[in-house]
Amino acid sequence: MSRPTHIIRLIAVENGRVHQGQLADTSRDVGLDSVEGKTITAYEINGSMINGEVTQNTLTVKHLLCLVSAEDCNITRCLGLNYKDHTKVSQ
């Protein structure tokens, strides 16, 4: 088993449950594949996304979910910057 690097959260075709997974093909654009209806597979992660271990159990994505559930992160913090000021070119 290895440490996850390309983590997704999904509902699996195999059992209809929510899982965390490591993308099987890390060269793919998972967002684009999802929009285009392509099959997405992932290796199941045991444990949390921080301390998890990638298993050899392959899951097929039925639904791609946001990475962090509302239960795991019930506080929203935002940082705003004035990007116009940061993009001015010095003359």
> Of 32, 35, 56, which is closest to residue 45 (Cα–Cα)?
56
Is 1 inside any structural domain?
Answer: no
> Of 50, 57, 40, which is closest to residue 73 (Cα–Cα)?
50
pLDDT of residue 66: 87
pLDDT of residue 11: 97
Is 91 inside any structural domain?
Answer: no
Is 2 inside any structural domain?
Answer: no
pLDDT of residue 1: 65
pLDDT of residue 70: 75
pLDDT of residue 67: 85
Provide the number of structural domains found in the chain.
1
Q: What is the pLDDT of residues 15-64, one digit of tens each?
A: 999 999 999 999 999 989 999 999 999 999 998 877 889 999 999 999 99
Torsion of CA 45, 47, 52, 57, to 10 degrees: -20
Is 42 inside any structural domain?
Answer: yes
- Alpha carbons 16 and 12: distance in angstroms, whole number: 5
- Alpha carbons 88 and 91: distance in angstroms, whole number: 9
Its domain, for residue 66, covers: 7-86
